[in-house]
Every structure is written in structure tokens, then in C-alpha cells.
Amino acid sequence: MTTAITAGSAPTAAAPRQAAIALPARLCRLRCLDDFEGAARRHLPRPVFGYIAMAAETRRSFDDNRSAFDDYRFVPRVLNDVSVRSTATTLFGRDYAAPFGIAPLGLSALSAYRGDLVLARAAAHAAIPMIMSGSSLIPLETVASAQPDAWFQAYLPGDVPDITALIERIGNAGFRHLVITVDTPVAPNPDNFARAGFSSPLRPSLGLAWPGRASRIHAGCSGPSCARWSGMACPISRTILRSGARRSCRLRSPGALPAART
């Protein structure tokens, strides 16, 4: 497209470019978000990658959710001053650098050492929202301490006393935003997880050790939801895999958590 400039007019001076962010060498080859999936496949053990990348059944819901975004396009608006453009936005009275953030990822500490803290600190550095998963392996108090602006996502238990105890704990930790998952009235079919070799807790295997290069893997479960079920069948472990894997989840730090109901 070409444009003409009227005599006597002068184009607006271009704003100085922002300095490029220095990236680690291993990230320089990743040019778009899609590149991260291939890198993760090479880096993570097969069972862990399978847990993150796979979806239930035939992936129909996953694929439909993804393809829904194909109905939207960016509309170009030419001859507009873009020298002071910004993606900043305000949400719930808080200013963010972008209108998107980090969604909750269950068991993220399997893919990076203390992964929830990595995500929380990255979100704080980028000034974007971060939602901590209710099936995290890191105590929610630890994440709230590292990133006071983090949000919390919860799968609410089935009865009022457990719901009350969980919400009180979330509030006492300092979370100001609660995201409730409402689309899981029944557990998803775990067949694809089993095909990838994933179980909770993770069991040592060759598939777990190779070809992934993740430095540390947490094989236990001490998430906030599991902590409510000390000594009983853990609903997260029971949901993820119904095969021969262990189905118990035991509390690691009972002094810091509300007592389980008997």
C-alpha cells in the first residue's frame, strides 16, 4: 500500500524503539508460541509432556475451543498514529501491562522446579495476571507470599464445611481474586494420560527418565486440595488416573494446614 503526503505536512517523528530483551541462548530459537510445544516435547519426560499437552477422549472439546479463535481477525486501521500504542489495561482495579495472563496449570511443578513460583514471579515481572491452580504441588501460602497479586483457582469440594474451610484458607493466605472451575461435574476420562505413561503420584520408569531433561521432578502431591484429604483417598489422584497407580495422597506439612475432617 502506498500513500501520498500533502505538501507542507510533515510525518510525525517515530517513537524510539524499545531496547530488545536479552534472552537465554536456548530461547532465541523460539520465535512464536507454537515453537514452545516442540521444545517442551524434547525437554520434558514423555509422561509429563503428555499430561500437559493431551486432552480427554478424542480432543473434540479442546480442538473446538482452539478453532473458535479462527473466527476472529485483526482489522487494520491505516494512517493512524501508533507511536504511543499500549496493551495496558485495568482489571478489578489493578493495572496490567497486557489484557491476558497465565492460566492455572495443575501440577506445574512437574515441568519446572517449584513451577508455580516460577510462573508467579514471571507474571509479577511482566505485570500480567497469574492464576494459581487448585491442584498445585506448592502450598498456596508460599505462592501468595511470593506474588501477592496472584489469583487462585479452586475446585470446590462437595460439602459446605469443606468449601468454607478452603475459602477461609485462601483468604487468610492473602488471595484477593478467586476463580471457580464449574465445568467438571464428573472426572474426565484419563485414558490419554495412561497412554502417555502419566500417573499421580508419578512412578519411576524409563519413560520418565528419557528423553526428558527436566532437572527435578516432584513425585508427591501436597497441593491445597489434597491437603484437605490427609490419610484419605485424594480426589485429585483418584481423578487423574484410575489404574493401578497409588490413590492416596498424604499431608506433608500438617501444622500449616486446616485439619482434615474425620
10: in domain: no
Look at residue 207 in the predicted model and tell me its pLDDT: 65
8: in domain: no
Task: Answer with the residue of higher pLDDT: 1 or 67.
Answer: 67
84: in domain: no
75: in domain: no
What tens digit of pLDDT does each residue of 151-189 get? 999 988 778 898 899 999 999 999 999 999 887 777 778
Look at residue 209 in the predicted model and tell me its pLDDT: 66
What is the domain-level CATH number for residue 162?
Answer: 3.20.20.70
pTM: 0.70
25: in domain: no
Task: Report the chain's mean pLDDT, rounded to a whole number.
Answer: 75
Task: Answer with the residue of higher pLDDT: 210 or 219.
Answer: 210
109-114 CB contacts, 8 Å cutoff, 24+ apart:
109/136, 109/137, 109/138, 109/218, 110/48, 110/51, 110/137, 110/202, 110/214, 110/217, 110/218, 111/40, 111/44, 111/48, 111/52, 111/214, 112/214, 113/215, 113/216, 114/138
Look at residue 255 in the predicted model and tell me its pLDDT: 33
Q: Quick one: pLDDT band at residue 20, thresholds 50, 70, 90?
A: low
Q: Is pLDDT of 198 > 50?
A: yes
Task: Answer with the residue of higher pLDDT: 89 or 3.
Answer: 89
Please give the Cα distance from 102 to 158 (Å, whole number).
27
Residue 66 CB contacts under 8 Å (≥ 6 apart), including other chains: none
What value does the mean pLDDT take over residues 105-116? 89
Please give the Cα distance from 258 to 128 (Å, whole number).
31
28: in domain: no
149: in domain: yes
3-class DSSP string for 125-187: HHCCCEEECCCCCCCHHHHHHHCCCCEEEECCCCCHHHHHHHHHHHHHHCCCCEEECCCCCCC
Look at residue 214 in the predicted model and tell me its pLDDT: 45
What tens digit of pLDDT does each residue of 37-64 get? 999 998 888 888 988 888 888 888 889 9
Q: What angle do CA 136, 256, 131 make, to 5 degrees?
A: 30
Q: What is the domain extent for residue 228? A: 33-55+89-256
81: in domain: no
Look at residue 197 in the predicted model and tell me its pLDDT: 84
Task: Answer with the residue of higher pLDDT: 25 or 237.
Answer: 25
Domain count, the chain: 1
